[in-house]
């Protein structure tokens, strides 16, 4: 009997546009224990996580539309929101 040589690629859904993509193509945001939300570049931080596409529109919907807050079950402070926007801009410059 032949083995299946195709490797499973984890799929995740963007909370803004609801598009399903490979986990590595999306950016993971995680609510940490103090209630703040951080970008998780490793994908392994503990806490409640949510995924956004790299597209600026998805970040705007996620941050301003309240979807991210709903999914992460937290309330973003203005400072935390601005920190995430700066982090998104830094990620887009990296590539």
Q: What is the CATH number of the domain that holds 87?
A: 3.30.1230.10
At residue 1, the pLDDT reads 58
Is residue 5 one of the residues assigned to a domain? no
Q: What are the pLDDT tens digits along the chain (95 aa)?
A: 566 678 999 999 999 999 999 999 999 999 999 999 999 999 999 999 999 999 999 999 999 988 999 999 999 999 999 999 999 888 888 76
* Nearest CA among 66, 71, 63, 91 for reference residue 31: 71
At residue 37, the pLDDT reads 95
Is residue 3 one of the residues assigned to a domain? no
Separation CA 4–CA 13 (nearest Å)? 26
At residue 91, the pLDDT reads 82
Task: Look at the chain and report how many structural domains it folds into.
Answer: 1
Angle at 82 between CA 79 and CA 84, to 5 degrees: 110
Helix H or strand E segment including 38:
strand 37-40
* Domain that residue 62 falls in: 11-94
Is residue 29 one of the residues assigned to a domain? yes
At residue 22, the pLDDT reads 97
């Amino acid at each position: 009997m032949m083995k299946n040589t195709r490797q499973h690629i984890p799929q995740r859904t963007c909370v803004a546009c609801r598009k399903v993509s490979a986990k590595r193509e999306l950016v993971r945001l995680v609510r940490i224990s103090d209630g703040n939300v951080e970008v998780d570049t490793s994908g392994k931080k503990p806490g409640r996580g949510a995924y956004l596409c790299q597209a600026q529109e998805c970040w705007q919907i996620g941050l301003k539309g309240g979807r991210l807050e709903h999914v992460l079950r937290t309330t973003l402070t203005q400072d935390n929101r601005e920190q995430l926007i700066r982090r998104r801009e830094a990620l887009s410059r990296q590539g």
